């Protein structure tokens, strides 16, 4: 079966084509083409995604990306068996462009459509590795599975009891983790998207601490108390542990998250620093320290709640997906804590992150999720009824 997938939920116009061979225990996927046209350069000016602009760009890009994708795959569109399209969650004006485009193709070439939930796509994003072919293991032994989905729009913990059987354990009550990275980066005049910038600065600070240039090297610790900050003079010569940010909701009984208070704490921190020295952010060291403490706070919170859920549900497989899953510190800390579970809880949980190119939005993950929708005959019966659902849930 050949699937053509279209993804336009945010600021990437993405189209992919896969060819799938059904086997009894697993399905073998061959990537015929996988293209992502990113609008990051356009949205940089606004410090975030501007929906009307995203819509305009998708409309302009879709036919061009399709042409390139068919050319890369060396096939004619008539050879496609199903069109998979993201219908939500995401920015509705952006989602509609992909849906309208899919409908036009469907009518013109008489190809059925399967709607795909973007978050389900992120779950499937961990299967492709290096190379053009990959397998999706449908073996029961990988369940129960847990998925931590962290992106610019979402932060959710999903219990996957079996394929397509999802239960949302918790989610952010305000900002998504990626959104917090972007907003904090903006406060420090760093370009959009902020995640990779903050991460780079935080890692620089960690290497400096490790290389011994700061005597009281710090192991990140989970601070129960929120002591906003102890400031010395103009902020110069501050050590990392003098900047303490909160870990919102880390000890709450549920699996929810909150990042808006953390973001506000950074805002106040910068305001206080600037009162003492208006040019304080010209000091790269200060930026590195704020970035590190902020990243520590986000990562500790994400890891803490994930580990708690793994223990409670005796999770066999953890999947981390979404733009923030590219964060190297999150990967490192998650791996470390999961390893500890072997001794402490006799849990042999396997953790999977997508390959770097598939952490962000892409159509390959939509193609995989779409294949399973098609395999289960979840085709849209009346294409006029297909609609964008900005808040679609798993």
Output the known binding site: 118, 122, 149-153, 182, 195, 327, 361
Which residues contact residue 24 at a Cβ distance below 8 angstroms, ignoring those fewer than 6 apart? none
| DSSP-derived pairing of the beta strands 12-22 and 317-321 | unpaired
Q: How far is the CB of 291 from ligand KG4 (least distance, A)?
A: 10
Of positions 101, 124, 181, 257, contacts ligand KG4 by CB under 6 A: 181
Q: Is 182 in the site for ligand KG4 (CB under 6 A)?
A: yes
Instruction: Pick the closest to residue 14 from 46, 47, 57 (CA basis).
Output: 57
**Cβ distance to ligand KG4 smaller for residue 170 or 194:** 194
Q: Enumerate the known binding-site residues for substrate.
A: 149-153, 182, 195, 327
Give which of ligand KG4, Zn ion, none residue 327 binds (C-beta under 5 to 8 Å, depending on kind).
ligand KG4
Instruction: Considering the complex, state which of residue 177 and residue 373 has its C-beta at the smaller distance from ligand KG4.
Output: 177
Strands 82-88, 2-7: parallel, antiparallel or unpaired by DSSP?
parallel
Report, in Å, the least distance between residue 7 CB and Zn ion.
Answer: 9
196 touching ligand KG4, by CB under 6 A: yes
Mark 50-89 with x for binding to ligand KG4 (rule: CB under 6 A) and - for no binding. Answer: ----------------------------------------
Stretch 314-333: interaction string toward ligand KG4, x if CB under 6 A: --------xxx-xx------
Pairing mode, if any, of strands 317-321 and 145-150?
Answer: parallel
Q: Does 151 bind ligand KG4 (CB under 6 A)?
A: yes
Q: Among residues 11 and 19, whose Cβ is nearest to ligand KG4?
A: 11
Separation between Cα atoms, residue 334 and residue 304, nearest integer Å: 9
Number of other residues whose CB lies within 10 A of the CB of residue 233: 9
203: number of Cβ within 10 Å: 18
Q: Using CB distances below 5 to 8 A depending on partner kind, what does residue 182 bind out of ligand KG4, Zn ion, none?
A: ligand KG4
- Spell out the alpha helix ranges (H) of 110-145: 118-124
DSSP 74: T
Residue 115, binding choice from Zn ion, ligand KG4, none, Cβ under 5 to 8 Å by partner class: none
Place of tokens 């959009």: 192
Residue 127 interacts with ligand KG4 (CB under 6 A): yes or no: no
What backbone torsions phi and psi does residue 356 show, to the nearest 5 degrees? Answer: -45, -45
**Is residue 194 involved in binding ligand KG4 (CB under 6 A)?**
yes
Q: Which stretch binds ligand KG4 (CB under 6 A): 193-201, 209-217, 237-245, 363-371?
A: 193-201
Residue keyed to tokens 């059904």: 22
Closest CA to 386 of 177, 105, 154, 156: 105
Comparing CB distances to ligand KG4, the nearer of 293 and 361 is 361
- Distance of alpha carbon 158 from alpha carbon 194, whole angstroms: 25
State the Cα–Cα distance between residues 379 and 220, nearest whole angstrom. Answer: 49
Distance of CA 251 to the CA centre of its chain: 23
- φ/ψ region of 372 (left if φ > 0, alpha if ψ in -120 to 50, else beta) reads alpha
**Chain contacts with Zn ion (rule: CB under 5 A):** 151, 361
Distance CA 84, CA 20 (A): 14
Question: Residue holding tokens 């061009």?
Answer: 64
Is position 10 an interface residue for ligand KG4 (rule: CB under 6 A)?
yes
Between 121 and 235, CB nearer to ligand KG4? 121
Dist. CA 321–CA 151, nearest whole Å: 8
Q: How far is the CB of 193 from ligand KG4 (least distance, A)?
A: 4
178 touching ligand KG4, by CB under 6 A:
yes
Per-residue tokens: 337: 């804590």
261 is a contact residue toward ligand KG4 (CB under 6 A): no
Among 150-158, 248-256, 336-344, 372-380, the segment contacting ligand KG4 (CB under 6 A): 150-158
Q: Tell me if 246 contacts ligand KG4 by CB under 6 A.
A: no
Measured distance CA(238)–CA(261) in Å, rounded: 23
The entry of ligand KG4, Zn ion, none near residue 7 (CB within 5 to 8 angstroms by kind) is none
Using CB under 6 A as the criterion, which residues of the chain lie in contact with ligand KG4 when the complex forms? 10, 151-153, 178-179, 181-182, 193-196, 199, 322-324, 326-327, 360-361
């Amino acid at each position: 079966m050949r699937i053509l997938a279209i993804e336009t939920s945010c600021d990437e116009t993405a189209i992919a084509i896969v060819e799938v061979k059904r086997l009894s225990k697993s399905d073998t996927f061959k990537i015929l083409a996988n293209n992502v046209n990113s609008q990051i350069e356009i949205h940089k000016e606004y410090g975030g995604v501007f929906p009307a602009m995203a819509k305009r760009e998708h409309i302009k890009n879709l036919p061009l990306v399709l042409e390139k994708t068919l050319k890369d795959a060396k096939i004619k569109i008539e050879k496609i068996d199903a069109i998979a399209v993201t219908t939500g969650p995401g920015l509705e004006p952006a989602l509609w462009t992909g849906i309208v485009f899919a409908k036009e193709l469907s009518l013109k070439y008489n190809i059925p459509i399967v709607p795909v939930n973007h978050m389900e796509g992120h779950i499937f994003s961990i299967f492709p590795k290096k190379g053009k072919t990959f397998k999706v293991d449908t073996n029961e032994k990988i369940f129960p599975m847990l998925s931590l989905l962290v992106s610019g729009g979402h932060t959710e913990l999903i219990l996957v009891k079996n394929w397509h059987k999802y239960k949302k354990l918790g989610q952010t009550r305000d900002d998504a983790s990626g959104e917090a990275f972007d907003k904090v980066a903006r406060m420090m005049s760093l370009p959009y998207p902020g995640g990779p910038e903050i991460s780079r600065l935080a890692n620089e600070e960690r290497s400096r601490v490790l290389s011994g240039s700061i005597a009281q090297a710090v192991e990140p610790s989970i601070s129960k108390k929120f002591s906003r900050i102890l400031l010395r003079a103009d902020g110069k010569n501050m050590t990392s542990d003098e900047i303490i940010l909160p870990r919102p909701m880390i000890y709450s009984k549920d699996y929810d998250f909150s990042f808006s208070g953390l973001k506000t704490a950074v805002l106040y921190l910068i305001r206080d620093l600037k009162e003492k020295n208006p040019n304080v952010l010209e000091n790269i060291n200060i930026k590195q320290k704020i970035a590190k403490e902020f990243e520590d706070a986000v990562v500790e919170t994400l890891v803490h709640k994930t580990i708690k859920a793994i223990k409670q549900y005796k999770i066999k497989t953890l999947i981390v997906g979404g733009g923030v899953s590219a964060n190297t510190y999150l990967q490192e800390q998650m791996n470390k804590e999961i390893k500890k579970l072997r001794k402490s809880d006799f849990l042999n949980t396997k953790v999977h992150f997508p390959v770097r190119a598939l952490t962000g939005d892409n159509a390959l993950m939509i193609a995989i999720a779409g294949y399973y929708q098609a395999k289960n005959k979840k085709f849209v019966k009346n294409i006029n009824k297909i609609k964008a659902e900005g808040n679609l849930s798993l």
